[in-house]
Amino acid sequence: MYELTMNLRTDKKTPLYEQIYSFIKHDIQSGRIACGEKLPSTRALAKHLEVSRSTAALAYEQLLSEGFIESVPCRGFFAAQIEELYHLRPAKAKEEKEKADGKAYRYDFTPNGVDLTGFPYNVWRKLSRDILMDDRTELFRSGDSRGEYGFRNAVCNYLYQARGVNCTPGQVIIGAGSDYLFMLLSMILGTDHKIAFEDPTYKQAYRLAQSLSYETVPVTMDKSGMEVTRLSGTDADIAYVTPSHQYPTGIVMPMKRRLELLKWAGEKDGRYIVEDDYDSEFRYKGKPIPALQGYDRMEKVIYLGTFSKSIAPAIRLSYMVLPNPLLRIYQERHRFVNSTVSKVDQMIVQRFLEDGYYERHLNKMRALYKNRHDTLIDALRPLSGICRVFGEHAGVHLLLAFENGKTEEELILRAKERGIKVYGLSDYRILKDPAARPTVLLGYANLAEEQIKDAAGILAECWG
Amino acid sequence: MYELTMNLRTDKKTPLYEQIYSFIKHDIQSGRIACGEKLPSTRALAKHLEVSRSTAALAYEQLLSEGFIESVPCRGFFAAQIEELYHLRPAKAKEEKEKADGKAYRYDFTPNGVDLTGFPYNVWRKLSRDILMDDRTELFRSGDSRGEYGFRNAVCNYLYQARGVNCTPGQVIIGAGSDYLFMLLSMILGTDHKIAFEDPTYKQAYRLAQSLSYETVPVTMDKSGMEVTRLSGTDADIAYVTPSHQYPTGIVMPMKRRLELLKWAGEKDGRYIVEDDYDSEFRYKGKPIPALQGYDRMEKVIYLGTFSKSIAPAIRLSYMVLPNPLLRIYQERHRFVNSTVSKVDQMIVQRFLEDGYYERHLNKMRALYKNRHDTLIDALRPLSGICRVFGEHAGVHLLLAFENGKTEEELILRAKERGIKVYGLSDYRILKDPAARPTVLLGYANLAEEQIKDAAGILAECWG
């Protein structure tokens, strides 16, 4: 009978049963113990190795549970068949380089910038410290899948006061970013819909809709935004719009067009409007226009907003306000999906809202951005002969439409040669339009006034 | 010509332009200014109201942008048509009651419990304080959509050492919870697949698959877990399994079955195995078995794991390891989807892993749970005549299969009458099986040893 002879070391930290286990496992893997070979009984093994029977038994148990040996009732233990193919490989410690985008540029006029010099670090630290102070285990239990009631209530109040959004905390769903909320929404709506997008549009949402396998259709815009007459001409049943500040053109949709849009939605069951109010916080002229959702009497508007732009991109916190028919579907079928935002983060932002920090922060940022906005417009004066500014007075970017015969590519390339990154409107178009006037976007959120002056000066040179 | 006579108050805080705006808006809404009626020019209005022209202009601009008036070139301003229908409603402050689950129970043997008395609050506070200490704005910029490289690298190392998972940081995707990662995975795989689930199974994943409109098929289990022969009999191309500790039956899939499963996946292109390693951290006997993923040489296994069970449910942090073919699809088509986890949280957990806190925490929890596990098994001795314990030695719950002629409903009801919540295995079955032996789950993570003894004593009474 096969005898297992191994050198057990009692001085080693590894327990005996594990040494036995490893030895046998290795012999089976290496083939020294052939597949199907009978192993000694635990009693025999224990006697032979001078270990307790339970030690031998524990080793066999481990081998059994890993399938290296098999137990045949009344006959004993046998080496199992292990395909060489599947032996555990050592991990390859292959490193990966993280690509360095735009490192080459001196100035980047990204339209998606957020200034973080204004971020209230101290307040944030204080709030998170306070919240982590009380050891309430509640804080670390799983919570309401929509987000905590208190936080949803705070968001609800903020949205009513600041945006004229009309809802109860029950309609608010908190999520880790707008992308996630869109994914959740697609579960609620189902993907058997056709979504109309403004053209040009916010490509992130457009790409997401396609990744979620929605049919999509671009709808052209006039100076008031998405043309509802054309929308009616499509078989789209969902319209994705950014009325408070169309991205990227900056058009503010006037009330009349908003009402037309709501009318369109009301004309058929199952039609909905997704209102992405992504940067409505920043408006430098007049009063902000109430959200489309506030005028919706037929439960047609799905309202999306985020703290990622108004506080910081790394704060993964967005909110969605569902009309009641969709809320019911969510409650019945999708409420089991767990929340994506930690309670700690929810409570920090709740306090941030309720204690007035958010309002102060917004005022500060508004002032900061307005100065950069004004500085940029001022610094662009020398270009007034060859281009027209539009989409200004709101958000964190504006646009320049050119009439100097240069193509968008040329304009972007010339700027690049001087170390300045600007963005072509074509990148935001769904349908390429060769006849379209060359237009570039200039985002000013990430540039100090001095930098804006310097950069604009250079642009004036290379474009003039 | 229509004259606007209003009482402007210079003592009020509201700026003049806003008072004018409100007055005209109100008159248009109330109909006092009829639709289409011509308004005075800004010059005339300014003169009439004795305000600066820019004040009048600003008021008109606001009215224009809100669509209450329209500007007709060379003719002037006219009141627009506003449908009564869409006037802004005041928000209804309807309160909602949050439902109180299981408040009635004295003891709840939930199998999804996580003990939070062991949560390292002080460490957590310290780490988050340290991380928020340095004002690096980097912390609040948007980061890599897969999660920060440093964190993915830490997870990668942990998974190799603790679970034998074989991957590079590039294959790791961090997400806010396993539900989200499953949603992301469904975008990568597409929904045109049939997913085989163990029966009984982890209902959360099963319901999610159905919400994502996947076809699903239940596959029965023998003592080794999902029966691969039966799996082959279905047209499923994805198998969702929990090999390290089947949920809810607690079966540990032996190596042999794992290899059969990998073989099944290797037999056809496009076949994949989703390995949900949800609670492999907790095992009280022998060594943990390396993950299925570690034996996969054909890039067939999608590995899922989470910190929500091992640290705290409210820590919304899970990870997914993609095989390279799927990673390429993700990189090409879905990488634009923003991360759902804040950098701060990622860095806290990274430090938690790298500084050895996690290992210590796991050892502590393992010891804690093992004691509760042993206490429960001990306390259930009196029931040994009428039921059999199985699925023990791992995770945070065990099962009792009854042979005393009582139905599952009876058992649950009797316990309920004594204020104890236990869970019936039927709730986890996809296909109801009337012939199945009555079985209840007892989770012990949320109960102290004393409570376990007391509760088990009561159960012995009401079931015996």
**What's the average pLDDT block by block, 10 residues per block, for chain A (464 residues)?**
67 80 82 79 83 85 79 80 45 40 77 85 86 74 89 93 90 96 96 96 94 96 96 97 93 93 96 93 79 94 93 89 97 94 92 91 91 95 92 92 92 95 95 90 94 95 88
Q: Which residues of chain A are within 8 Å of residue B316 when distances are taken between CB atoms?
A: 176, 338-342
Contact indicator for A432, A424 with CB cutoff of 8 Å: no
Strands A272-276 and B423-424: unpaired
Residue A252 CB contacts under 8 Å (≥ 6 apart), including other chains: A243, A244, A245, A246, A289, A394, B65
* Cα separation, A155 vs A134, whole angstroms: 24
> Least CB-CB distance to B140: which of A133, A208, A314?
A314
Q: Give the bridge partners for B305, in sequence order.
A: B319
> What length is written for chain A?
464
* Cα separation, B447 vs B464, whole angstroms: 22
CATH architecture for residues B107-118+360-463: Alpha-Beta Complex (3.90)
- Which of B264, B272, B309 has its CA nearest to residue B293? B272
Look at residue A59 and give its three-state secondary structure: helix
Q: Do A333 and B211 touch (CB under 8 A)?
A: yes
Q: Quick one: pLDDT at residue B110? A: 92
Q: Quick one: pLDDT at residue B85? A: 32
Q: Quick one: pLDDT at residue A94? A: 39
Q: Quick one: pLDDT at residue A443? A: 95
Strands A301-306 and A318-321: antiparallel
Q: Do A315 and B342 touch (CB under 8 A)?
A: yes
Q: Which residues of chain B are within 8 Å of residue A334 when distances are taken between CB atoms?
A: 211
* Cα separation, A373 vs A368, whole angstroms: 9
pLDDT tens for residues B89-123? 333 333 344 444 445 799 999 998 888 888 888 88
Residues of chain B with pLDDT under 70: 1-3, 82-103, 134-136, 286-288
Provide the whole-model pTM: 0.79
Residue B313 CB contacts under 8 Å (≥ 6 apart), including other chains: A140, A141, A142, B114
Residue in chain B nearest A204 by alpha carbon? B336
Q: Quick one: pLDDT at residue A59? A: 87
Q: Where are the domains of chain A?
A: 16-86, 107-118+360-463, 121-356
Q: Which residues of chain A are within 8 Å of residue B119 when distances are taken between CB atoms?
A: 137, 140
Interface probe for A, chosen from B287, B296, B304 (most Cβ of A below 10 Å), is B287
pLDDT tens for residues A441-462? 999 999 999 999 999 999 999 9
Look at residue A347 and give its three-state secondary structure: helix
Q: Do B313 and A142 touch (CB under 8 A)?
A: yes
- What does the mean pLDDT of chain B come to? 87
* Cα separation, B88 vs B212, whole angstroms: 36
Tell me the Cα Rg of chain A: 31
* Cα separation, A278 vs A307, whole angstroms: 9
Contact indicator for B274, B238 with CB cutoff of 8 Å: yes
Cα angle: A361, vertex A364, A370; to 5 degrees: 135
Sheet (strand B423-424) strand order: B387-390, B397-402, B439-443, B423-424
Q: Is A213 on the interface with B (CB under 8 A)?
A: yes
Residue in chain A nearest B261 by alpha carbon? A86
Q: Quick one: pLDDT at residue B3? A: 62
- The C-alpha of A325 sits at a distance from chain B's nearest C-alpha, in angstroms, of 17
Look at the block and give the residue holding tokens 């070139």.
B73
Tell me the Cα Rg of chain B: 32
Q: Do B340 and A177 touch (CB under 8 A)?
A: yes
Sheet (strand B194-199) strand order: B172-175, B318-321, B301-306, B272-276, B238-241, B194-199, B215-222, B225-226
> Least CB-CB distance to A140: which of B116, B143, B341?
B116
Neighbour count for residue A105 (Cβ, 10 Å)? 17
Does the B16-86 domain belong in CATH 1.10.8.60? no
Q: Which fold has domain A121-356?
A: Aspartate Aminotransferase; domain 2 (3.40.640)
* Cα separation, B123 vs A132, whole angstroms: 11
Is-same-fold flag (A16-86; A121-356)?
Answer: no
Contact indicator for A340, B180 with CB cutoff of 8 Å: yes
